[in-house]
Amino acid sequence: MTPESRVRPTPSAPEGWPGSLGDAAYYGPLGRLVRAVAPLTEADPAALLLQHLVMFGSIVGRGMYFTAEGARHYAALYAVLVGLSSKSRKGSSYAVAKKGMLLVDPALGNPGRSEKGLSSGEGLLFAVRDSMVGPDGIEIDGVPDKRCLVVESEFASTLKVMARPGNTLSPVLRGAWDGEALGTLTKNNRVTATGSHISLIGHVTRDELRRYLTETEAGNGFGNRILWCCVRRARVLPEGGDLDSVDLDALTAPLRLAATVAAQDRLVVRDDEARAFWNAIYEDLSEGKPGLFGALTGRAEAQVMRLALIYAAADGTFVVGRKHLEAALEVWRYCEESVRYIFGDAVGDPIADEINRALRQSGSLTRTEIRDLLGRNQPAPRVDRALALLVETGAARMTSDASGNGRPVERWFRVGYDINDRSQARYVAERSVDPYDINDINDKRSAKGE
């Protein structure tokens, strides 16, 4: 009986789901490997591909790099798989990806190369430490291999840990992504790490992520260093898939050779065709977006180039071609749409998001009703800031009715406009359209033949 004959259909994707990764994402040796194993597992192909990319980038280490505004960017990626439930086969996808990547570099499974259980910045630093003197005066050897793949199957726990006062995990992870020399300010036990190469894979459910990703971590640059990837069960295999039927050794052979080549300390450049393509897409990638969506996608150009670098590394070349960029751009598209699906029209401010949810249900609220909604315990300036943020992101508008006796009645309305829609946002900016009249834009454009 073939694996296909045992397949059961899966429920259709929920409304707003980011769809499927396009063919461009499955470029090169990594893409061929994922295509070969995907039909034999219930895991989402997107989950498989993202984790293969992160793991191969971890294997490459601080060899090849590209520069942007004087800073070096290496093949280090942070990716978090976001499922609707604990049954999204996130763990299965990791197991499948690791099986192939261990054939590329068996050391990936060694203690220290793969770490689990993020709890503090100091703990992460110790895993990639320089030589140091311990509190008892005894010298502790440094870690010779500074490549570390952090796998956190309960990423919600990591987010909760970060919210604790004084926890240093967030700044250490941010510094590691940036390729900085890392250190803590602990007086009696200073840990430093130079030349570290930290990669991250996390698993979380959508509800957990929305609950525990704080406004601070979303806005301080931690969130936009992560590739957020929606995943779901791809198929039902009651009897399981037979991964042994795939010749993983042959599929990973090109990657083993490529990893050796990529370990060289070499600058990666774009060829002429890739340079022209990059110039065409750069403005759109680097354009800032408002709200929580913008906060979590604010490093688009750097993420795309890091992905392209890894695709080039898998090809064993130090020249990024158009195919590498197209593959990277398709992965980024999926991750960007994942952010839209996960967070919807949230703006990242708890009070503003609570008001926005209420407006979505009722259509409009008076200022008094908003005060009641918040339990009458939020100071007026705090509510004013939340409402101003909703106006800034195009989510709400206000009218003032002075027709009655007494003070004018302030009423807030939900605006039926997604400010994250780039084409409409650009139309507004170019033509000075009132965003509150955005519902009429399509009619106006049709009338003008646009």
Residue identified by tokens 């490549």 is: 147
Q: Is residue 430's pLDDT more than 90?
A: no
Residue 365: per-residue pLDDT? 92
- Kindly report the average pLDDT of the chain as a whole number: 85
Residue 235: per-residue pLDDT? 86
Mean pLDDT, range 98-107, rounded to an integer: 96
Selected residue with higher pLDDT from 417 and 240: 240
Selected residue with higher pLDDT from 270 and 389: 270
Q: Is residue 340's pLDDT more than 60?
A: yes
Q: How does DSSP classify residue 431?
A: H
Mean pLDDT, range 11-26, rounded to an integer: 87
Residue 1: per-residue pLDDT? 39
Token pair belonging to 39: 């039909």
Mean pLDDT, range 326-348, rounded to an integer: 91
Q: Is residue 447's pLDDT more than 80?
A: no
Reported as type and span, the H/E element at residue 149 is strand 147-152
As annotated, the residues of the chain forming the CATH 3.40.50.300 domain(s) are 3-343
Report how far apart, in Å, the C-alpha atoms of 98 and of each of 94, 248, 279 are: 6, 11, 35
As annotated, the residues of the chain forming the CATH 1.10.10.10 domain(s) are 350-447
Banded pLDDT at 302 (limits 50, 70, 90): very high
Residue 336: per-residue pLDDT? 95
Cβ atoms within 10 Å, residue 185 = 6
Mean pLDDT, range 236-250, rounded to an integer: 86
- Most confidently modeled range among 12-26, 82-96, 220-234: 220-234
Residue 116: per-residue pLDDT? 85
Residue 185: per-residue pLDDT? 59
Q: Report the CATH superfamily, name and number, of domain 3-343.
A: P-loop containing nucleotide triphosphate hydrolases (3.40.50.300)
Reported as type and span, the H/E element at residue 203 is strand 197-205
For 339-373, b/e burial (b = at least 16 CB within 10 A) is bbbbbbbbbbbebbbebbebbeeeeebebeebeeb
Selected residue with higher pLDDT from 1 and 46: 46
| Residue 346, phi then psi, degrees to nearest 5 | -60, 145
Mean pLDDT, range 360-373, rounded to an integer: 89
Q: Is residue 84's pLDDT more than 50?
A: yes
Reported as type and span, the H/E element at residue 343 is helix 322-343
Residue 39: per-residue pLDDT? 93
List the one residue out of 348, 335, 352 whose CA is nearest residue 18: 335
Mean pLDDT, range 13-42, rounded to an integer: 93
Give the domain 350-447 fold. Answer: Arc Repressor Mutant, subunit A (1.10.10)
Banded pLDDT at 2 (limits 50, 70, 90): very low
Residue 445: per-residue pLDDT? 37
Selected residue with higher pLDDT from 14 and 309: 309
Q: Which residues pair with 204 in a beta bridge?
A: 82
Banded pLDDT at 303 (limits 50, 70, 90): very high
Tell me if 100 sits within 8 A of 249, measured CB to CB: no
Quote the pTM value: 0.81
